[in-house]
Structure 1
Amino acid sequence: MAKVAVKLVSWDEIADWARDLSSKILESGWRPDVVMAIARGGYVPARLVCDNLGVMDLVSVQVVHWPSTAQAIERAFIKHEARVDSLAGKRVLVIDDIVDTGDSISLAKEYAEKAGAGEVRSAALQWISTVAKFKPDYYSINVTDWKWFVYPWNVTEDVTNFMKRIIMEEGASKNRWGFTELVSKMREWYGDEIMKVPLSYISKALINLEQMGLIERSSNGAEYVVKGK
């Protein structure tokens, strides 16, 4: 059994969920003046919802988590703020791709309220009801079994972080890896679902890890060597 449950999300699913989310907002009888995307995952959903609702004003606020992909989140904080004057007195819809802990969307909602928004509501494509501490006003999918969703706009980033985690956590006993070994280890850690990602993404992830200084190619180019080991 995989150590981390993973689900690859398609562009068609994103479009369907965004239409469904938009329909629920319209059916509620409420319409925002401004949509505020939570960067970076909320960019695409927010733009699609703007299109579906006919909202022209789109702003963003970046909420950062630590640590990274598919690991426990310790804390969320706002890294880049939206222009306060663009929110004052407005009906603001805060949008993210997914609500897991709820820290990001609740923090962004609080920010908009403090910025003087007249009314703030929240929305997400997905809400993980079993673990989230915050329930958005609108959502398309209620996820009852936790897993890590790999969205089409962050496949390379997620695969890079998956590979980094494998190499770092297995590094105590192994410091040289062949490409086939790493692919096999990806399947072991993240299941068959991750193998739907083209191998070119894994190759790009390894290039990223080389550029980060975590690994380097062996002299014959056949293996990846963990640096400092």
Structure 2
Amino acid sequence: MDKDFTARIVGLSEVYEMAYKISDQITESSLNFDVVIGIARGGFPPARLVCDFLNIKTLTAVQIKHYTGAKEHKEVDISDPVDIDLKGKNVLIVDDVNDSGKTLIAAVDHVKSLDAGEIRTAVLHEKSNTSMKADFVGDYLDDWRWLIYQWAATEDLLEFLNDDNMLSAKNEEMRQHLSDHYELDVSTDLLKKVLAMKRNYLR
């Protein structure tokens, strides 16, 4: 199999620093928000960190299906809308990565439809190919790479290995395959934990 794309694992310490950077930008902007909305699932962990840094007590979520693992759906679908009153409230929408921009556009349109006040967006990472720029960004990425956040490592790595018919291989062969095809450096311990959860995915 030829390598389709490169990937890297984003650890929790990096997420913490990017969330702090976003929060510092917001603090310096003097904007005040009443509600933080995390785009589920990936946006919820950084949204919680931002709430902590900015002392915002109201955190909710909107679930938007756009990516499943490393595969893109053609349509963006709001599968679980915001379920609290946003009328007149200033809202910060948070996601992990801004790739095509479609997810942010759908989230902003949804929040606008609920008569919110000021609406801003924040992401940990933003890729250069996006069609909608976020207002607050932790880091900008010029080279396209699939980002595997720590909270999605099991899902993504199992998908890579399953799609490449590598789940019956030895652990070291799996690690070498991930390195050769995706430039991923997966530790022995992480791979062991991922494989231990395999039964929850491949039923």
Is TM (by shorter chain) over 0.5? yes
Aligned residues: 201
Q: Is the 8 A contact 2:64 2:77 kept in 1?
A: yes
| Corresponding residue of 2:106 | 107
Q: Provide the TM-score with structure 2 as the length reference.
A: 0.89
TM-score, normalization by structure 1: 0.80
The match for 1:159 is 157
| Greater Cα shift, 2-11 or 27-36 | 2-11
Match of residue 70 from structure 2: 70
Matched residue, 2:20: 19
Q: Distance in 1 between matches of 2:83 and 2:69?
A: 29
Q: 2:122–2:135: 8 Å Cα contact kept in structure 1?
A: yes
Alpha-carbon RMSD across the aligned residues, in angstroms, is 2.2
Whichever residue aligns with residue 191 of structure 2, its letter is L
What displacement does 1:198 show?
A: 2.1
Secondary structure, counterpart of 2:24 in structure 1: helix
In structure 2, C-alpha distance between the alignment counterparts of 1:196 and 1:16, rounded to whole Å = 26
Give how far 1:165 is off.
Answer: 1.9
**CA distances 1:135-164 after superposition (whole Å, capped 9, x unpaired):** 011111011111111111111111121122
- Alignment match, 2:127: 128
Amino acid at match of 1:178: A
Specify the SS of the correspondent of 2:151: coil
Change over 3 Å in CA distance of 1:178–1:7 after alignment to 2:
closer
- Say if 1:196 and 1:24 are closer, same or farther in 2 by CA, change over 3 A: farther
The CA deviation at 1:106 is 1.2
Flag structure 2 segments of 5+ consecutive residues without an equivalent. Answer: none
Cα distance change on mapping 1:17 and 1:190 into 2, 3 Å: same
1:16-71 Cα distance to aligned partner (Å, 9 max, x none): 111100000111111111101100001111010011111111111000125x3223
Determine whether 1:193 maps to 2:177. no
On the 8 A contact 2:105/2:132 being kept in 1, the answer is yes
What 5-or-longer segments of structure 1 have no aligned partner?
A: 171-175, 212-229
Percent identity, aligned pairs only?
Answer: 31
Does the CA-based 8 Å contact 1:95-1:124 persist in structure 2?
Answer: yes
Q: After the TM superposition, which of the residue ranges 33-42 and 195-204 deviates more from structure 2?
A: 195-204
Output the amino acid matched with 2:76: A
State the structure with bigger RCO (CA 8 A, min sep 6), 1 or 2: 2
- In structure 1, the partner of 2:9 is 8
Aligned counterparts of 1:96 and 1:16: Cα–Cα separation in 2 = 15
Summarize the alignment of residues 10-49 of structure 1 with structure 2, pairs less than 5 Å apart: 10-49=11-50
> Which letter maps to 1:99?
N
Please tell me the residue identity of whatever aligns with 2:104. Answer: I
